Structure 1
Amino acid sequence: MGRLKEFDQDKAIDGAVDCFWARGYEATSVRDLAAHMGIGGASLYNAYGGKRALFVAALERYANRSSRERIARHEAAGQPRQAIEAFLAEIIDRSLKDRARKGCLLVNSALDVAPHDAEIGKVVAGYLEEIRAFFQRNIEAARRAGQVPRDIDAAGVSAHLLGILLGIRVLARTRPDRALLDSVVRPALDLLNVPAISKA
């Protein structure tokens, strides 16, 4: 039977998330990680197997506490159209409050790590697919409720909304301007509007 890990695992993995998020995968050393996690290098290797495996664990922790938490919270209200709008509005708010302009760890990893590491690329793509699937589920639910056009392409629009989200996260790192970010989202949300019935 292996020895129990003699450190606070939640605190340690949160430290790893913060370190990777601030520095990026390539610029983060095992020494940096150990310092942020409050453990020794040997404990890091024993518990996680090394930097790469720790990065995958950090992505999981980040997804659980950001995108997955947000999806569950907005879907719990049972209002699909509003869930989509609230999700995107929260992304804008979080981006504007990001004083350090760190962006989103998943998006950063999609740009910086995924092109050079196919396995991590699949991991990141999986998390982004969860967000796209959230959009599609709620578009389909809103369509059944008559809140969006009956002929809306749920798969296509959900992919478009994911692209908008990624664009917001990247754009906000260089131009964190609410009017600009709102203007990016508005045309995408217009796709959800039910056409007005002509009285002519």
Structure 2
Amino acid sequence: MARHKEFDEQHALDQALETFWSGSYASTSTQDLCDSTGLSRSSLYSTFTCKSDLYRRSLRRYGEIKGVERSGYLEREGSGRELLTAMLTDVLGGQCDDPDRRGCMIINAAVELGESDDEVAALSRANLEEFRDVLAALIARGQDDGSITATTPAIDLATVVHATLNGLQVSARVATDPAALTKALHTLLSLI
């Protein structure tokens, strides 16, 4: 007779996500994952197979959470510029306000594992493209309402905005003057 799991798998996954996000794949030990999830090694491995499987599932979960957050900006009232500014300010400000200055878990995964893990690379690409597409939709909205210049296609502007935001998030990990990052963000927005 199969034993009934006596824990909430989603909660354990969310705890593992937080652990990976606060550190990295390489620096997170199995014991760290056991401690954060409250699971024994046997329960951890019987549920999630291995550390890499748990990491991939954490990345998927992170993408789901961020996807919901991002799509919320598309449903708000306001001009495209106002919504784009709000989203970018919220992302960068949220990171700078975080005592650990955790950046985007997807950027961290792409930088740490790159192409060494095909599934992590695919998850990273998909999430980055999804974010860029939301930015493009906000920019297109701004181009339609006249609050953002329409001389460059929305997807091209979104690619530049996204790349700049990614760079600012990496810089925010070690920045001593978060206000300079915010100024850089507003300078970028003034160019579009």
TM, length-normalised to structure 2: 0.90
Q: Following the alignment from structure 2 to structure 1, what is the Cα–Cα distance between the partners of residues 92 and 117? A: 29
Identity %: 28
* The 10-residue stretch of structure 1 (52-61 or 99-108) with the greater mean CA deviation from structure 2: 99-108
Aligned match of 2:32: 32
Aligned match of 1:50: 50
Q: 1:63-84: CA deviations, max 9, x gaps?
A: 223x223212221114332221
The AA in structure 2 aligned to 1:70 is E
Are the equivalent residues in 1 in contact too, given 2:71–2:134 (CA < 8 A)? no
Are the equivalent residues in 1 in contact too, given 2:143–2:150 (CA < 8 A)? yes
> Using a 3 Å threshold, how does the CA distance of structure 1 residues 35 and 179 change in structure 2: closer, same or farther?
closer
Aligned match of 1:99: 99
Query: Which structure dedicates a bigger proportion of its chain to helix?
Result: 2
SS in 1 for 2:16: helix
SS in 2 for 1:113: helix
Aligned match of 2:138: 138
The RMSD of aligned alpha carbons is: 1.9
Aligned match of 1:64: 64
Q: Following the alignment from structure 1 to structure 2, what is the Cα–Cα distance between the partners of residues 70 and 164? A: 20
Q: Following the alignment from structure 2 to structure 1, what is the Cα–Cα distance between the partners of residues 134 and 153? A: 15
Unpaired stretches in structure 1, ≥5 consecutive residues: 193-200
Q: Following the alignment from structure 1 to structure 2, what is the Cα–Cα distance between the partners of residues 171 and 45? A: 35
Aligned match of 1:75: 74
The AA in structure 1 aligned to 2:73 is H
Count of residue pairs the alignment pairs up:
191
SS in 1 for 2:27: coil
Are the equivalent residues in 1 in contact too, given 2:104–2:169 (CA < 8 A)? yes
Unpaired stretches in structure 2, ≥5 consecutive residues: none
Report the structure number with the largest CA radius of gyration: 1
Are the equivalent residues in 1 in contact too, given 2:16–2:33 (CA < 8 A)? yes
TM, length-normalised to structure 1: 0.86
